Structure 1
Amino acid sequence: MNQNIKDDEGKSRDEIIRMLEGLAPPDLAEPFDSGRIGLIVEGKPKITKICTCLDVTPAVVQAAIKMKADILIAHHTPIWNPLTSIGGSDARLLSKILSNELNIYVMHTNWDHAIGGVNDILADILGLTDTVSMSLGLVGSVTKNLKEIAEILHAPLRVWGDISSLKRLAIAAGSGFDIEIIKEAEKLGADAYLSAELRHSVYRSSPIPLLESTHYALESPSMRVLAQNNGWDYLDDPPMLHEIS
């Protein structure tokens, strides 16, 4: 990581943006992220309190305001589609953000692809070693069993297929169940592939067993670690998930 920028130092917004661009260069982002990363909402020019989050939800914004944050660094943009009118939940959320001069900065697929970013951090918390990069995500040696993986992620783990041996695990944080990437993982020796939001057709076409966790469980560690490494605050807002069997 780059030099830490801790709370109360009073850095300019531009200084912090340069630091964040060093961690996750914008040119690493996928083309569909054009206009959806970087400074999405402009607020105060001077920053003394920094928070991170996965999603810019009303609860997260309220927590950031309560903590007197000047910038909220998110993985997912709060404005995915262009707005031609502002009303309802968009108006309520943006009103709180703008009235409190809260900067919103987004690191999305550039953070996914960055060295030390989303997938590297996920691999680290799962204890993967001897990692090899894929077009998205990576493959590494794993010593944890399925129960231990679920416990680390603090989320349910659905197993699609029969896993007789798990020595090499492929991971792609977020919605990474792409059949071409799964085939790439198999060629790199993966015994199974971990991601989120699996479609039935992808499972039927997969050459290896698939492990399905939640989007939040796989991507939130990167924003939590980003905060921890820099003396910032991570604002947790996991989805409400109930399993009925």
Structure 2
Amino acid sequence: MKNIQLEQIIHEKLSPHLVKDYAPNGLQVEGKPDIKKIITGVTASQALIEKAVEKKADALLVHHGYFWKGEAEPIRGMKGHRIRTLIKHDINLYGYHLPLDIHPELGNNAQLARLLNIEVEGGLEGHPQSVAMFGRFSAPQTGAGLAKKINQVLHRAPLHISPVNQDKKIETIGWCTGGGQDFIELAVKHGLDAFISGEISERTTYTAREMDIHYFAAGHHATERYGVKALGEWLAEQHGLDVEFVDIDNPV
């Protein structure tokens, strides 16, 4: 498959043109024109690039790519090293950020809901492109029980901040993978029992306690493994590409 064709196929699936993002979505660093082997991963770190080189990949497909709004523009230092490695080995780099968070089938939010058996009801922001979701469990959960389930599913023990009433059961829940902790107040306005995000801020602790909501910080990396993995599996199944997911450990 041609590299431009692969970009077109992913664009048709994820519709990045509908989303206002902080980085370009699509082919970010152009490599060889023909693609057979693809490595997928969360972030285009040097370690992931080296894995792509080791596995003789033609393309690297990630959730966190390059050229973020506000970042330094010169291609030097760590950024230069990464890009030089890609160019030296003729590897294409594709990055998809918010479109891969919000996609209703392959997105990070959709995949987290699937893993935790949450019935999706809608977007917290009230529109189809919402980056935070809400839904419910088929049966009420305890805070400790949900923390244990998150640990089992994501292989990462979450930080659980309990409301004043620690015995408050969880039936309705909101979530936003990655750095979505500031949606917690919107979750409270929706009357939800709990909220999950990847990252936590110092202020989030007090919000959870004072606004009577369970909060779980489950890890930015841990909550965002599954969108790009699902996208790679879809490409393999629907288009016959050789795709391999590589998980570079990240405790955050």
Give me the TM-score of the superposition, normalised by structure 1.
Answer: 0.84
Tell me, in whole angstroms, the C-alpha distance in 2 between the residues paired with 1:83 and 1:187: 37
Kindly report the root-mean-square deviation, in angstroms, between the aligned alpha carbons of the 2 structures.
2.0
State the Cα distance separating 1:26 from its structure 2 match: 1.6
Tell me, in whole angstroms, the C-alpha distance in 1 between the residues paired with 2:21 and 2:81: 29
Aligned pair count reads 227
State the Cα distance separating 1:31 from its structure 2 match: 4.2
> Is the contact made by 2:111 and 2:227 (CA closer than 8 Å) also made in structure 1?
yes
Question: Please, which runs of 5 or more residues in structure 1 have no aligned partner?
Answer: 1-10
> Is the contact made by 1:194 and 1:210 (CA closer than 8 Å) also made in structure 2?
yes
Aligned to 2:15: 25
Tell me, in whole angstroms, the C-alpha distance in 1 between the residues paired with 2:111 and 2:155: 15
Aligned to 2:84: 95
Aligned to 1:192: 194
**Other structure's SS at 2:93 match:** strand
> Is the contact made by 1:196 and 1:213 (CA closer than 8 Å) also made in structure 2?
yes
Q: Report 1:64-143 matches (<5 A).
A: 64-80=52-68, 81-116=70-105, 117-135=107-125, 136-142=131-137, 143=139
Which stretch shifts more, 146-155 or 222-231? 222-231
**Other structure's SS at 2:22 match:** helix
Tell me, in whole angstroms, the C-alpha distance in 2 between the residues paired with 1:83 and 1:48: 33
Tell me, in whole angstroms, the C-alpha distance in 2 between the residues paired with 1:54 and 1:22: 21
> Is the contact made by 2:150 and 2:156 (CA closer than 8 Å) also made in structure 1?
no
Q: Deviations over 1:6-29 (max 9, x none)?
A: xxxxx1112211111122212233
Which stretch shifts more, 188-197 or 208-217? 188-197
Tell me, in whole angstroms, the C-alpha distance in 1 between the residues paired with 2:25 and 2:113: 24
- Is residue 239 of structure 1 aligned with residue 238 of structure 2? no
State the Cα distance separating 1:217 from its structure 2 match: 0.6
State the Cα distance separating 1:152 from its structure 2 match: 0.4
Percent of residue pairs bearing the same amino acid type: 25
- Is residue 221 of structure 1 aligned with residue 226 of structure 2? yes
**Other structure's SS at 2:104 match:** coil
State the Cα distance separating 1:240 from its structure 2 match: 4.7
Tell me, in whole angstroms, the C-alpha distance in 2 between the residues paired with 1:193 and 1:126: 13
